[in-house]
Amino acid sequence: MVNLDVIVSLAKRRGFLWRSSDIYGGLSGAWDFGPMGVELARNIKQLWWKKFIQERDDMYGIDASILMNARTWEASGHIEGFHDPLVECKKCKRRFRADQAQDQCPECGGALTKERQFNMMFETRVGAVEDSASITYLRPETAQGMFVNFKNILDAFHPLIPFGIGQTGKAFRNEITPKDFIFRIREFEQMEIEYFVREKEWETYFNHWKSEMWAWIENIGLARSRVHELEVPSNERAHYSRRTIDFEYDFPFGRQELYGLAYRADFDLRQHSKASGVELQYFNEGSGERFYPHVIEPTFGVERTVLALLCDAYKEDVLGGDARVYLALKPHLAPVQAAVFPLLRNNKSLVSKARAVYKDIKKAVPQMMWDDNGNIGKRYRRQDEIGTPWCITIDHQTLDDDTVTIRDRDSGEQKRVHIHEVSLFIKEEK
């Protein structure tokens, strides 16, 4: 497995990820996506949306606000229970999650204070009045947006059970020790589903979503052998969960949670019914039955997906006698799908032909890059490092017969194709 520093450096050099507000020394637990990172992250989110919302008839997509009425977090149990155990070093004053520091400070060896509970929600104030009623929180999970909109979905669409609500969006957690690049951060994005079922069917749908999550892992191209299911023991589960499976990935810093699958029972709908006074039972008009549906929750982190993909796709080999680095990303996720090069940047006919080919292919393949900087070898190396599956070169022969070379990222092999076939080739291959 590749060293994490190698990934961090490649991500910075090639415009995937930068420290937030870097010129001011950064902000712990916050990262910015650069032009390559944002394309990769968007491809992941779009694929997720297509697969889990658009292609299914039993799913409803929403986009709930990040700021919610604070009573949401009382009812969900987050104000009371969204804690991590915190210890502080008496000598250097650094703070750690209790399970990450045993007896002595891992930094200076100093003695630690007693464990206390630290709530991980970011508190903020809404409006100009500074009283306790104005306090709310940046959401620590997107899930509650689905529960508070449950009745809206029922009223507007009258779905038959089972059905689900899904969304992608930012979540914020004041993690005690953000670390391991973008693995544990304070501002991140989740892709979550709340799937509502009858109690007696919970296990069937738990298994259904487990296999859907494996299918997703396959879709994005992570090596199956590096992903492992962990049955989370009851004393380690979240307060709402009756069963949880973590999907763990072999990151360079160890085996850690990538995704989660939880059985939340009817905890949330009951809690919100009680707290809001709004009835959130499901009513079946045909049979007259009324009940609180049970919930299966598959949850995916965007940044952890990006990190796992960068680590998984990272390859080094020797091609044509030269050592190189490339990202073997699946073409449909690669930030750039194809790059177009004029063989020589100072040859007018080659450049204008290449521009025309570039413009033409861009109509069908939007994620394209133009590159005429440095020699061809350098351009290939740059594209390899961002995972571009195909490089298209316009050379002297193109001027005679309208054919170009297409070079394959993984094998380095080139073939000649007519310019009219290029878009089709790319579409078929990805």
Q: Shortest distance, CB of residue 297 to ligand ATP, whole angstroms?
A: 9
When CB distances to ligand ATP are compared, the closest residue is: 301
C-alpha angle 26-30-36 in degrees, rounded to nearest 5: 95
Q: Shortest distance, CB of residue 298 to ligand ATP, whole angstroms?
A: 10
Q: Shortest distance, CB of residue 330 to ligand ATP, whole angstroms?
A: 20
Instruction: Output 260 or 293, the one with its CB closest to ligand ATP.
Output: 260
Instruction: Output 151 or 184, the one with its CB closest to ligand ATP.
Output: 184
Q: Shortest distance, CB of residue 117 to ligand ATP, whole angstroms?
A: 15
Instruction: Output 48 or 358, the one with its CB closest to ligand ATP.
Output: 48
Instruction: Output 175 or 360, the one with its CB closest to ligand ATP.
Output: 175
Q: Shortest distance, CB of residue 206 to ligand ATP, whole angstroms?
A: 15
Instruction: Output 82 or 205, the one with its CB closest to ligand ATP.
Output: 82
Cα–Cα dist 364/358, whole Å = 11
Q: Shortest distance, CB of residue 373 to ligand ATP, whole angstroms?
A: 35
Instruction: Output 184 or 264, the one with its CB closest to ligand ATP.
Output: 184
Q: What is the 3-state secondary structure (H, E, C) of the chain?
A: CCCHHHHHHHHHHCCCEEECCHHHCCCCCCEEECHHHHHHHHHHHHHHHHHHHHCCCCEEECCCCCECCCHHHHHCCHHHHCEEEEEEECCCCCEEEHHHCCCECCCCCCEECCCEEEECCEEEECCCCCCHHHEEEECCCCHHHHHHCHHHHHHHHCCCCCEEEEEEEEEECCCCCCECCCCECCEEEEEEEEEEECHHHHHHHHHHHHHHHHHHHHHHCCCHHHEEEEECCHHHCCCCCCEEEEEEEEECCEEEEEEEEEEEECHHHHHHHHHHCCCCCEECCCCCCEECCEEEEEEEEHHHHHHHHHHHHEEEEEECCEEEEEECCCCCCCCCCEEEEECCCCCHHHHHHHHHHHHHHHHHCCCEEECCCCCHHHHHHHHHHHCCCEEEEECHHHHHHCEEEEEECCCCCEEEEEHHHHHHHHHHHC
Q: Shortest distance, CB of residue 260 to ligand ATP, whole angstroms?
A: 4
Q: Shortest distance, CB of residue 130 to ligand ATP, whole angstroms?
A: 29
Q: Shortest distance, CB of residue 295 to ligand ATP, whole angstroms?
A: 14
Instruction: Output 164 or 301, the one with its CB closest to ligand ATP.
Output: 301
Instruction: Output 185 or 197, the one with its CB closest to ligand ATP.
Output: 185
Residue that is written with structure tokens 């968007």 in the block: 42
Instruction: Output 175 or 201, the one with its CB closest to ligand ATP.
Output: 175
Residues found near ligand ATP in the complex (CB under 6 A): 173, 175, 184-185, 188, 190, 257, 259-260, 299, 301, 303-304
